[in-house]
Amino acid sequence: MSSPNIAAMLDKTEELDLIIKEQEVILLKINDLNEKLKTSPQVVENPDDNSLELLKVWYTQAMNLSNCEANICDLLANQLDALLELQQPSPPLPRLPPLPQQQKRMAKARVEQPKRQKQVKSLSNPSSITGSLEGKEVAAKVMPQNFEKEEWIIVRVVCFDEESKEFEVVDEEPDNGDAKEVESGEKKYKVPMRSIIPFPSSNDPTSAPEFSPGTYVLAVYPGTTTLYKARVVRGHNKRKKHDYVLEFDDDENEDGTLPKRKVPFHKVVAFIAEVDGQ
């Protein structure tokens, strides 16, 4: 067994720290919205309310982050075992069964919402959530032809297939791709629920998540319909300024600096860190 790269391990611990911080931000949002629904459960009956959509997205993001955290912890534990084998002749100490740290962080969210769950249970079925997205623009993760990896792009939701549990979406401004052709040169895709992120309402800046400076997000690059990873330089002011100021990864000027670009608040969503299969 080759010796683990210490520098790579340190990079992974930094990545783990970022994931944990993102989890804490998402769980604060979940708790805030749960408190709002606990005091005013009737708001979900308003057709324009997107509370249930947001909860679905945030819980999915929390689950994905938890999986990423578990993958990194398992990788680091294996690398530490390898280091211990190199440093001492005796067998390594037995590893304790993994304790999902996510359970601790999710505990508060679960404790604060039992009454709300009973009040809105009849409204929280897949049809009530997915149906409210029909006709709306969302971010979707798809695999266009000739691309090496999946891309987040703007699409419009056509419908939700109850049998396959997938959204049928349309890319209204496609590049060359392998999706099904529809009228007017549009492209149609089918994507699972986990690959859909609703945008905030463009008419309500207060509905947008608050991303503090230094936070990584997914945002629509100006002049395109594609979302890229970016770092928040300045958050949007819900009363005065409705734009985020962002620095996009791999967007360097000739001098190596990253330009600061303005992006409307309703084209910015949470970034989900992905862990390579190792």
Q: Contact, 257 vs 247, CB < 8 A? A: no
Separation between Cα atoms, residue 34 and residue 70, nearest integer Å: 26
Region 61-76 average pLDDT:
80
**What is the band of 157 on the pLDDT scale with cuts at 50, 70, 90?**
very high
| pLDDT > 70 fraction of the chain, expressed in percent and rounded | 72
Give the pLDDT mean for 128-140.
Answer: 78
Written as six digits, the tokens of 4 are: 């683990």
Q: Which residue has the higher pLDDT, 73 or 272?
A: 73
User: Is pLDDT at 232 greater than 90 in this prediction?
Assistant: yes
User: Residue 206's pLDDT is what?
Assistant: 78
The fraction of the chain above a pLDDT of 90, given in percent, is 20
| Domain limits for position 260 | 205-270
- Kindly state whether residues 45 and 151 are assigned to the same domain: no
Query: What is the distance between the alpha carbons of residues 277 and 71, in angstroms, rounded to a whole number?
Result: 8
Question: What confidence score (pLDDT) does residue 227 get?
Answer: 93
- Same-domain pairing of 144 and 217: no
pLDDT band, very low/low/confident/very high, at 274 (cuts 50, 70, 90): low
Q: Are residues 139 and 155 in the same domain?
A: yes
Beta-strand runs (E) in the chain? 137-142, 151-161, 166-171, 180-181, 187-192, 196-198, 216-220, 226-234, 243-248, 261-264, 268-270
Domain with residue 174: its CATH number is 2.30.30
Distance CA 187, CA 177 (A): 8
> Which residue would you say has higher pLDDT here, 12 or 256?
256
CB 139, CB 165: distance < 8 Å:
no
Strands 226-234 and 151-161: antiparallel
Measured at the alpha carbon of residue 131, what is the angle toward residues 125 and 136, in degrees to the nearest 5?
140
> pLDDT tens across 239-273, in order?
656 789 999 998 988 888 899 999 999 999 988 76
Say if residue 36 is in the same domain as residue 55: yes
Q: What is the mean pLDDT of residues 165-187?
A: 70
Residue 265 near residue 203, CB atoms below 8 Å: no
pLDDT classification of 217: cutoffs 50, 70, 90: very high
Helix axes 101-111, 6-39, angle to 10 degrees: 10
Is residue 142, in this structure, part of any structural domain at all? yes
Last residue of a domain, one of 93, 124, 155: 124
Is the pLDDT score of 76 beyond 90? no
Residue 217, domain CATH: 2.30.30.140
Claim to verify: residue 17 and residue 117 sit in the same structural domain: yes
Q: Are residues 252 and 193 in the same domain?
A: no
Quote the pLDDT of residue 90: 52
Mean pLDDT of 70-89: 72
- Residues near 41 by beta carbon (within 8 Å), at least 6 away in sequence: 116, 119, 120
Q: Are residues 108 and 61 in the same domain?
A: yes
What is the number of domains present in the chain? 3
Residue 224's pLDDT band (cuts 50, 70, 90): very high
Lowest mean pLDDT among 63-77, 79-93, 198-212: 79-93
